[in-house]
Structure 1
Amino acid sequence: MTRPPLTGTSAGDTDTGPPANLWHNRDFTLLWSGQCLSDLGGALVELALPLLVLERTGSPAQAGLAGTAGLVTAMLCRLPAGVLADRCDRRRLMIACDVLRLAVYALLGCAVAAGAAGLPVILAAVVAGAAATAVFSTAEHAAVRNLVRTDQLTTAVARNEARTYGVALAGPPLGGLLFGAGRALPFFGNAVSFLLSLIAVLCIRRPLQRTGTGTPPAAAASAAEGLRFLLGHPFLRALLVIAVPLNTAFTGMVFAMTLALRRAGLPPVTVGLAGTIFAAGGLLGAFAAPALQRRLRMPVLITLLCWTTAVLMTVAALLSPGVLAAVPLAAAVFLGPTANAALFGHQAAVTPDHLQGRVVSVLLLAAGSAGALAPVLAGALLARWSPGTALLVFPLLVAVAAVTAGLSRGIRAMPA
């Protein structure tokens, strides 16, 4: 089915409009700041939820169920979220998601404060919040292309990467502090973060998508249209093949290293310090990403990053389970944001605006599913082999991504 003609302009299709300096881009800064706060609120709850369930039920299995429910809900909602992000007004969609999340976590905070937050109430809040977050994040990814210049897309993605790693550093300690001060505080804090995100979205002036005329195709046909475009585009096909092993390798390697250090008898504070080093490496890498991208052609950059990451992970595996293994792994994590910024920045540039949501949703579903399975894979490998042998599986996965990047016509054709 043909797409109806589009009217209006998009920041992703013209280099006039948004400021040349991304720091002076009011609308992108509003969106980025609002999501910094909402991500931080989510990190507070990510730590507090299992602690709350464990305290109320005494069951580690039920504590894990709350986290699993959120992950499964997010994955199930990812593809419908892509269709919604392309068929509906993205601003209204994001506002509705923030209102829902604000209400859900404010009510959950009240229930916790009143001592009425049983497992069914907690699971209902987790499922509703995860569904709204899946829709919001997909719409946000699709909207960025309309807020920044085409030549700023990789820098914008790198800045979002910095947001992720910064929250990983600050969120858990703050969540633990609030939970210790009052069981309901992390949930009220999350509700406040969504209120601030809502205000930020309301203040954005530029359109978040191009406007279309005519009747859009049915939902199933719309989803199929996005998948056909992705599989028919050489770069996007390569990105799909590269993103899955890379995400599996990074998530699985960090998780396996954490388990290996603990099993080696290192105290929890040392294991926690290693996790902080990994997050700090990613944060620094996100700030360094634009400079690295300016110095190397995209195809060379992607291939070099993949092979360097494979080597660093191999060194980390050979040094495990010693604490020194955290150093090369942190260096590998440092390179991750540059690869993500280059790949997903180019994805935003080559995907038409009316397909952004659907293409992004497929990529995020594939990478997210791989990341969700990585801890299970890591645990199974460590149960069968020694850490030094088990961890070598993850650099092999990165090597698969490196070979794909080197052979792919879509990667080799990436412009400077």
Structure 2
Amino acid sequence: MTTPPLVPDAAGLRGRPPSLWRNRAFNLLWAGQCLSDLGGAMADLALPLLVLQQTGSPARAGLVGTVGLATTLACRLPAGVLADRYDRRRLMITCDAARIAAYAVLACAVAADAAGVAVLLLVVAGGAAATAVFSTAEHAAIRSIVRPDQIATAVARNEARSYGTSLAGPPLGGLLFGIGRSLPFIGNALSFLLSLIAVVCIRRPLQQRRPGPAEKAGSGGASAVQGLQFVLGHPFLRGLLVIAAPLNTAFTGMIFAMTLALRRSGVPPFLVGLAGAIFALGGFLGALAAPALQRWLSLPALITLLCWATAALMAVSALLSATVLAAVPLAAAVFLGPTANAALFGHQAAITPDHLQGRVVSVLLLAAGSTAALAPALAGALLARWAPGTAMLVFPLLVTGAAVTATFSRGIRTTSA
């Protein structure tokens, strides 16, 4: 497959590249998402704790998490079409407004002791749909606001942002939940408000000029298929589809199972949040190390090493499931993840035409989360039947399958990414 030529002025810059820290549009988007990611991390920790407190059922707590992930999954391909057809900046503003409304309603319902499972499911589903569209538009916009030679650096910085806010969000969410059950959701609504303000302040276009009405022709389904065709036509991306699903399912399931197992063992909410922060620390440190690791390891080597190391470390985590120490091997497992993601999405953004960015990103994210949406419900069901140490061993077995695929897949081994 030939690589489409990059547009030299995609970021509106020529000559020697200035520091990414001087890119106003990228920094506004990055800062706004730091805040919204922080609010989301607080809410993600508080939601299962709220359901567990109300019902005492880990299966119902898993159901709420699964509804959010399943909604995100269902919205991925439509989100890619929207991100390629319409103004990405306006889409992000609309999504932030919807998320502000959803979590403000939830905070009021929790404060009034009226947040039943049905209310939680509606809010989680609505927020997940908006997040799916926002995140796809954000991924697709990177190529338009960052120079081609800085895309991988920008993606690595986004990875650091995500893990950094996950590092602070869970303990903060646990602390706020212990003070008042509605506080994490109030904080989440405020974080989306600040994100909206940041996006409003971006003046640079977040996509290239479209050729005309013909670009919008055709049904949404046909448009989505174009993204799938592009991915399937690339040997490495095609091989990655088989690996991403079990790997992401295992990480999602292990984190959720660890949260429920610790809470059922009587661990205070703040310490449960601390366990999540330990996991995020591994990803954060990995994001900081990403530039150096990309120079030392090829993308195929990164993915293969990540899979085998993750399978072994998750098995160790299962043995420590009753203590906060279970988060330590998970943190080690996720260390290589940011580097692999930065290299992958940097390569993807470089080879994908701008008018297909949203759809290609949506296909990759759909593959990565295709079965991860079932992970919270699976984790809850396993914990309801078996002891945590036994139940959690299911997830390293999934990763072992991905590791075997990564080792022997010709598409993975022969890529020049």
- Shorter chain as denominator, the TM-score bin is 0.7 to 0.9
What residue number does 2:70 align with? Answer: 72
CA distance in 2, matches of 1:389, 1:70: 26
TM-score between both structures, scaled by the size of structure 2:
0.82
Query: 3-state SS of the aligned residue for 1:82?
Result: helix
What residue number does 1:36 align with? Answer: 34
What residue number does 1:233 align with? Answer: 234
CA distance in 1, matches of 2:18, 2:349: 18
Query: 3-state SS of the aligned residue for 2:146?
Result: coil
Per-residue deviation, 1:295: 2.2
C-alpha distance after superposition, 1:209-253 (max 9, x if no partner): 122113322211111211122112212212212211221233334
Preserved CA contact (<8 Å) 2:69 2:372: no
Preserved CA contact (<8 Å) 1:35 1:197: yes
Preserved CA contact (<8 Å) 1:10 1:210: no
CA distance in 1, matches of 2:41, 2:343: 26
Q: Note the residue ranges of structure 1 that are not aligned, 5 or more in a row.
A: 1-5
CA distance in 2, matches of 1:298, 1:271: 34
> Are 1:134 and 2:144 matched, yes or no?
no
> Are 1:196 and 2:197 matched, yes or no?
no
CA distance in 2, matches of 1:143, 1:370: 26
> Are 1:340 and 2:341 matched, yes or no?
yes
Preserved CA contact (<8 Å) 2:10 2:208: no
TM-score between both structures, scaled by the size of structure 1:
0.82
What residue number does 2:100 align with? Answer: 102
My pick for the range that moved more, 130-139 or 114-123, is 114-123
Preserved CA contact (<8 Å) 1:103 1:191: yes
Preserved CA contact (<8 Å) 1:302 1:342: no
What residue number does 2:145 align with? Answer: 147
Per-residue deviation, 1:373: 2.5
Preserved CA contact (<8 Å) 1:11 1:150: yes
Preserved CA contact (<8 Å) 2:81 2:359: yes
CA distance in 2, matches of 1:176, 1:258: 11
My pick for the range that moved more, 16-25 or 69-78, is 16-25
C-alpha distance after superposition, 1:24-48 (max 9, x if no partner): 2221111111011111122233344
CA 1:315–1:116 in structure 2 vs 1: closer, same or farther (change >3 Å)?
closer
What residue number does 2:299 align with? Answer: 298
Letter in 2 for 1:351: T
Preserved CA contact (<8 Å) 2:382 2:391: yes
CA 1:316–1:15 in structure 2 vs 1: closer, same or farther (change >3 Å)?
farther
C-alpha distance after superposition, 1:81-112 (max 9, x if no partner): 11111111111111111122223333444455
> Are 1:168 and 2:132 matched, yes or no?
no
Q: % of aligned pairs identical?
A: 73
Preserved CA contact (<8 Å) 2:152 2:346: yes
What residue number does 2:24 align with? Answer: 26
Letter in 1 for 2:140: A
Preserved CA contact (<8 Å) 2:310 2:333: yes
**Equivalent runs, 1:261-300 vs 2, <5 Å:** 274-300=275-301
> Are 1:214 and 2:222 matched, yes or no?
no
What residue number does 1:3 align with? Answer: none
CA 1:407–1:205 in structure 2 vs 1: closer, same or farther (change >3 Å)?
farther
Preserved CA contact (<8 Å) 1:18 1:25: no
Query: 3-state SS of the aligned residue for 1:174?
Result: helix
CA 1:150–1:405 in structure 2 vs 1: closer, same or farther (change >3 Å)?
farther
What residue number does 1:205 align with? Answer: 203
C-alpha distance after superposition, 1:392-413 (max 9, x if no partner): 6544543443444444454345
My pick for the range that moved more, 391-400 or 275-284, is 391-400
Q: CA RMSD in A?
A: 3.7
Per-residue deviation, 1:358: 1.5
> Are 1:45 and 2:43 matched, yes or no?
yes
What residue number does 2:10 align with? Answer: 11
Letter in 2 for 1:164: S
What residue number does 1:398 align with? Answer: 399
My pick for the range that moved more, 342-351 or 104-113, is 104-113
My pick for the range that moved more, 308-317 or 94-103, is 308-317
CA distance in 1, matches of 2:298, 2:374: 33
CA distance in 1, matches of 2:8, 2:29: 20
Query: 3-state SS of the aligned residue for 1:294?
Result: helix
Query: 3-state SS of the aligned residue for 1:145?
Result: helix
Per-residue deviation, 1:375: 4.3
CA 1:50–1:357 in structure 2 vs 1: closer, same or farther (change >3 Å)?
same
Query: 3-state SS of the aligned residue for 2:307?
Result: helix
Letter in 1 for 2:213: G
CA distance in 1, matches of 2:370, 2:291: 28
Q: Note the residue ranges of structure 2 that are not aligned, 5 or more in a row.
A: none
CA distance in 1, matches of 2:177, 2:379: 30
CA distance in 2, matches of 1:44, 1:319: 24
State the aligned residue count. 408
CA distance in 2, matches of 1:387, 1:130: 28
Preserved CA contact (<8 Å) 2:61 2:380: no
C-alpha distance after superposition, 1:332-370 (max 9, x if no partner): 221222222222222222222211211222222222232
What residue number does 1:158 align with? Answer: 156
